Amino acid sequence: MVSARDIAAQVKDPELPMLTIADLGILRTVREDGEHVTVEITPTYSGCPAMGAIRADVTRHLNAAGYRDVEVRTVLHPAWTTDWITADGRRTLAENGIAPPGPAPKRTPLQLGRRASAACPRCGSTDTVEVSHFGATACKALHRCRACAEPFELIKAI
């Protein structure tokens, strides 16, 4: 039997389906206690609408693998940070045209004007610009590459 940890770690994020919840740092702990499996997950953003789906997916995957008694708990502390996205996860993001985040800022001083951009995940150019702090999901910002003229998304460092 594959371990409960390995099963849970393979669950995909519904909004970034190229990443597993382990890659994303959402999966905190998996404990097997006899028949009972306790999985701890952590939300990325307060309003992330995917948490319910992730909880259901984890339970469904574990049930399918033979783990019948599954409890999925939410852990709020410490707060999720993009620093927890694994090296594999960052590489997969870039391969899928999404720029991985830089280091998370420690403090939150006022920042006027555009935030620093990142290397274009398509052509690698650093001649890029932020179009909007906000994107199609809570975790992404919209950027544009001036070299290849393509828009791209970037995971916001938080």
Partner 1 sequence: MNEHEINAYDAIMEQSDHTHWAFGTGFDDPLAGVDPSVPEGMDAAELAAYCLMLGDDALIYSHRLSEWCTNAPELEDEVALANIALDLLGQARLLLSRAAQARGEGDEDSLAYLRDAHEFRNVHLAELPRGDFAQEIARLLVFSIWRLALLERLTESADPVLAAIATKGVKELSYHRDYAAGWTVRLGDGTEFSHERMTAGLAAIWPYTAELFISNPVEQRIGVDPAQLRAEFDAVLAQVLEPATLTVPDVAPMARVANQAGRDGVHTEALSYLLAEMQSVARAYPGATW
Q: Is 158 a residue that touches partner 1 (CB under 8 A)?
A: yes
Piece of the chain touching partner 1 by CB under 8 A; list 1-9, 29-37, 66-74, 144-152: 66-74
**Cα–Cα distances in angstroms (integers) from residue 119 to residues 103, 112, 113, 140, 141, in the given order:** 14, 21, 19, 15, 14
- Mask 120-139, x = binds partner 1 (CB under 8 A)? -----------xxxxxx-x-
**Cα–Cα distances in angstroms (integers) from residue 66 to residues 37, 44, 55, 61, 109, in the given order:** 11, 29, 17, 9, 49
Cis peptide leading into residue 121 (ω within 30°): no
Q: Cα–Cα distance between 38 and 62 in angstroms, integer?
A: 11
Count Cα neighbours of 22 within 13 Å in the Cβ-side half-sphere.
Answer: 13
51, 118, 120, 155: residue in contact with partner 1 (rule CB under 8 A): 51
5, 9, 65, 75: residue in contact with partner 1 (rule CB under 8 A): 75
Q: Is 97 a residue that touches partner 1 (CB under 8 A)?
A: no
Q: Is 18 a residue that touches partner 1 (CB under 8 A)?
A: yes
Task: Note the residues at the interface with partner 1 (CB under 8 A).
Answer: 12, 14-15, 17-18, 40, 43, 45-53, 55-57, 60, 71-80, 105, 108, 110-115, 131-136, 138, 142, 156, 158
